[in-house]
Amino acid sequence: MNKILTVALREFLAVVLTRSFALGILLPPVMIGLVVTLTPLLMNQKPPTVHGHVAVIDHSGVVADELAKASTKESIESRRSHDKKEMAAAAGKAIGVDAKTQEQIAKGVQTPAAAEADAPSLTVQVLPPDTDLETAKANMRANADKRLSDMGPDPRLAIVVIPKACVEGEKSAATGEVTYPDFPLYTSTRLDIEITSDIRKETGKAIVDARLRAGGLDADKVRGLITRPDANVQVVTAAGERKGNEVAQILVPGAFMFLMWISVFSAGQYLLTSTIEEKSSRVMEVLLSAVSPIQLLSGKILGKGAVGLLMLLIYSGTGVLALVAFAMMDLVPWQNIIYLAAYFAIAYFTIAALMTAVGSAVTEIAEAQSLMAPVMMLLVIPMMLWMPITRNPNSMFAQVCSFVPFVNPFVMVLRISGSEPIPTWQIPVSILVGALGVIFAIWAASKVFRIGVLMYGKPPNFATLVRWVRMA
Amino acid sequence: MTAAIEIRGVNKSFGPKVAVRDMTFTIPQGSLIGLIGRNGAGKTTTIRMVMSIIFPDSGEISVLGKKSAVESKDRIGYLPEERGLYKKMKVNTFLTYVARLKGIDSVGLDKRVRAWLERVELLGSAKKKCEELSKGMQQKVQFIASVIHEPDLIILDEPFSGLDPVNARLLSSLVDEQHKAGRTVIFSTHQMSQAEAVCDRVIMVNDGTKVLDDTPQGIRSRFDPKTVEAAPLHPLSDEELANLPRLPGVRDVSRKDDSLLFALDGRESAEQVLARIVQAMPVSSIKIVRPSLEDVFLEIVLKAAKTPEERERLMALAGEWGGGGSSGD
């Protein structure tokens, strides 16, 4: 036992004390942090400062004024800041954070610097309805190949033409149905995409407003009336109500499974490379003169398992802290974390045994590729099961998968952290099945390991490994 | 006193290839034994079976009075032929790790590691990564790893291969020191001269079978001198040459560079033949050629050859096995 622990300690330290491990552990959270902080900054990137005017040829005679009002610098600014707030609130609501946090997110998205600087200085120039369109385009044609800054003091950036039918409608002679055509918009080659879309939206809005006014309605009132209300979802539980959020219901099981997957896979990968290293550097025989193959195998699996567990603790710890920070801890009952540990152990020991077996059979990492294919298959299955099982944790398919060795720890983690409670008896039974799978995997791995570690030369194929298991 | 190693009727095959065939020998405690044979003769397989790294198909092995080496691993020091180190590990960390695996308490272990590194002039490299050492230095570290736990039985597989003469001598003296401290030492080598110089007994293996098991002196006396080498003072005429094979006690005469080799027929002693040659021709030098272990080995191997083709092939290969070259006196 002492020797197993000595091996385990070395295997643990050999990974944990390296720079690459620290980097590997820190990198994912740092990357996520960067994405979270940088995305709003990038979204608030100032578009190029725009100056110039939009020409309006208004055949209806009732839209141009409205459009001019909407295009002042102040109204563009206020519109943009309103849009961003809405966006942040929607995002916050989707992931289910409370109102206070939604506000904080909105603040983060709406940085003051971005709000003041990027509103373009655009003016609206109303042209008489009988203006020749080609003459109106002349300035834009002349500027087509120039940079925005070289276009002169007040270049024409776009021409909006508002046909009369846009406001009044066209009555079809055949059916008598009234339709409203689209309006033409001519833009300069250099116009920013955000401004183009702004002009489109605001023109459209001004046209609709004009139609409503023509019908004797108050446009603002109508807008207020047709705002679609959203549901404030409350899940009724035995203990009372809790906030419902569909996105979190999909994300939490997925997060649990990925957490486990990453820890298991990384630890397994470490195990594979360390076994191959010991074999290819020929240190294996020195070790085997001091410990038995089964002691070495156990020590290695335990040591790298500790590495995986450490990763799991760091990541899930960060996750739990984040949940506490967002006051969403009710999404993850404490017993689920205990189950996570149990299923991690099952998944890890299974994959570890297979990885060590593969590692012991080959001499170089390149040779391991073909033998890794079946192991990789096992690791890909949980990814494919995520959605179907999370959405229906008690389907026949999910229940059957819960008792298939090798796959069941991942399936059970998805089911347990999902929205529906699952039959209680299935938890101990699936753990038992998992444990039997582990025993089988370690038994088979130890057979392969004993033969493989001293075998050099042509790497065996999968059939040979199976023969080794049956032979020894 | 129980034997350090006892092997009885051991066989081992890998697929169709028989690696060890009906091997039987006993190694008493405290002896220094050389296991010699050409590459692929079955030395390493025998040693690995002794170490319980692989297991015999049939036969019995007992090590230090136990059924297998597994039960006495901590009392055995082993330097494998395929030796390795953790490339990225520091030298002292590696030695500490191996010693801990061999059951040495961590108290005072540091001091022991330092003392050993000092012995082999590697103290300055204690904190270096193993991959930074030269091959010879690595080999010294590996030797320390095999003896640091003061084992009763030390098994060294090809310990001298790849060492320069200075380090080979250093290692030789360290081996001798272990032997003098009362430990049983077995080493395998294909360099017969090495075994001849160090061992108090030699076990010769060929084609998986033990062919000889004796002291170097015993082997020499068993294979009496059968050749006299003489260099003529001046070139001999054809007639003089033709007469030489007719000397009593001489079977055949052949040329070797400027000298003549007189193969004896065994009817007269080497000393008598030597006197006759001096009478028959003026010589600048003359000596009785004593067979080295290598010559003996060659003779045994060639005798074992089943067909003339195999014998020829072995003759061609002979240079390869010798390593040290023929030594006579």
Q: Which residue of B has its CA nearest to A9?
A: B97
Q: What is the residue whose two structure tokens read 């990453």? A: A262
Confidence band of B328 (pLDDT split at 50, 70, 90): very low
Residues of A within 8 A of B49 (CB-CB) are none
State the Cα–Cα distance between residues B270 and B251, nearest whole angstrom.
12
Of A2, A3, A285, which is closest to B82 when you measure between CB atoms? A285
Structure tokens at B312: 């020829």
Residue A116: phi and psi, rounded to 5, are -80, -30
Give mean pLDDT, residues B47-61. Answer: 87
Decide if A273 touches B, using CB distance below 8 A.
no
For residue B113, pLDDT beyond 90: yes
Q: CB–CB of A59/A163 below 8 Å?
A: yes
pLDDT score at A177: 87
What's the confidence (pLDDT) of residue A96?
58
**Partner-chain contact A290 B87, CB within 8 Å:** no
Q: What is the pLDDT of residue B105?
A: 87
Which of A11, A13, A15, A283 should one mutate to test binding to chain B, selecting the residue with the greatest count of B CBs within 10 A? A283
Decide: B297 and B204 in contact? Cβ < 8 Å. Answer: yes
- pLDDT at residue B321 tops 50: no
Tell me whether residues B98 and A282 touch, CB distance under 8 A: no
Is the CB of A288 inside 8 Å of chain B's CB atoms?
yes
Partner residue opposite A285 with nearest CB, options B53, B86, B103: B53
**B chain contacts of residue A287, beta-carbon cutoff 8 Å:** 101
Average pLDDT over chain B reads: 84
Is A281's CB within 8 Å of B87's CB? yes
For testing the chain A interface, which of B48, B76, B83, B86 should be mutated: the one with the most A CBs within 10 Å? B86
Residue B110 in this model has a pLDDT that exceeds 80: yes
Comparing alpha-carbon positions, the chain B residue that sits nearest to A3 is B101
Cβ distance of B83 and A278 shorter than 8 Å? no
Q: What is the pLDDT of residue A115?
A: 46
Give the C-alpha separation, A20 to A27, whole Å: 10
Hey, are the CB atoms on B84 and A285 less than 8 Å from each other? yes
Angstrom distances, CA of residue A52 to CA of A49, A122, A127, A142: 10, 5, 15, 15
pLDDT of residue A329: 64
Whether A20 and chain B come into contact, CB under 8 Å, resolves to no
User: What is the predicted pLDDT for the residue at A100?
Assistant: 64
Q: In which band, very low, low, confident or very high, does the pLDDT at B327 lie, cut at 50, 70 and 90?
A: very low
Name the token pair of A410: 């991942």
* A27 within 8 A of A129, measured Cβ to Cβ: no
Nearest CA in chain A to B94: A10
B146 interaction partners in chain A (CB closer than 8 Å): 289
- Dihedral angle sign, alpha carbons of residues B267, B269, B274, B275: negative
- Cβ of A285 and B142 within 8 Å? no
pLDDT tens, position by position, A360-371: 888 888 888 888
Q: Whole-angstrom Cα distance, residue B198 to residue B195? A: 5
Q: Give pLDDT tens digits for B224-253.
A: 667 888 888 888 888 888 888 888 888 888
CB spacing of B85 vs A290 below 8 angstroms: no
pLDDT of residue A44: 62
Among residues A66, A375, A102, the alpha carbon closest in space to that of A205 is found at A66
Both structure tokens of A269: 């990968």
The pLDDT value recorded for residue B143 is: 92
Contact A454 B85 (CB under 8 A): no
pLDDT at A294: 85
Write out chain A residues lying below 8 Å of B53, CB-based: 285, 288-289, 454
Q: What ipTM goes with this model?
A: 0.74
B313-325 mean pLDDT? 54
In SS3 terms, chain A reads as CHHHHHHHHHHHHHHHCCHHHHHHHHHHHHHHHHHHHHHHHHHCCCCCCCEEEEEEEECCCCCHHHHHHHCCHHHHHHHHHHHHHHHHHHHHHHHCCCHHHHHHHHHHHCCHHHHHHCCCEEEEEEECCCCCHHHHHHHHHHCCCCCHHHCCCCCEEEEEEECHHHHHCEECCCCCCEECCCCCEEECCCCCHHHHHHHHHHHHHHHHHHHHHHCCCCHHHHHHHCCCCCCCCEEEECCEEEECCHHHHHHHHHHHHHHHHHHHHHHHHHHHHHHHHHHHCCCHHHHHCCCCHHHHHHHHHHHHHHHHHHHHHHHHHHHHHHHHHCCCHHHCCHHHHHHHHHHHHHHHHHHHHHHHHHHHHCCCHHHHHHHHHHHHHHHHHHHHHHHHHHHCCCCHHHHHHCCCCCCHHHHHHHHHCCCCCCCCCHHHHHHHHHHHHHHHHHHHHHHHHHHHCCCCCCCCCHHHHHHHHHHC
In whole angstroms, give the CA distance from residue A5 to residue A10: 9
Interface contact flag, B102 A278, Cβ < 8 Å? no
- The larger pLDDT score, comparing residue A163 to residue B15, is at A163
Query: Per-residue confidence of chain A (472 residues) as pLDDT tens digits?
Result: 688 999 999 999 988 888 888 887 778 778 877 877 777 677 666 656 677 888 999 888 888 888 888 777 777 777 777 777 777 777 666 655 566 666 665 565 544 444 444 556 778 888 888 888 888 888 888 888 887 777 778 888 899 999 988 888 888 888 888 888 999 999 888 777 878 888 888 899 889 988 888 888 888 888 888 888 877 777 777 766 666 666 666 677 777 788 888 888 888 888 998 998 888 888 888 888 888 888 899 999 999 999 988 888 888 777 777 777 766 666 667 777 788 888 888 999 998 998 888 888 888 888 888 888 888 887 888 888 878 887 788 888 888 888 888 888 888 888 887 767 788 888 899 999 999 999 998 888 888 888 887 777 777 777 777 887 777 5
pLDDT at A101: 62
- Residue percentage of chain B with pLDDT more than 70: 94
Quick check: B86 and A292 CB within 8 A? no
Q: Count of CB contacts below 8 A, A vs B?
A: 63
Q: Which amino acid is at B80?
A: P
Which residue of B lies nearest to A274 if distances are taken between CA atoms? B86
Q: Residue A245: CB partners within 8 Å, gap ≥ 6?
A: A94, A95, A96, A233
Res A98: pLDDT: 60
pLDDT at B193: 76
Chain B residues inside the 8 Å CB shell of A7: 101
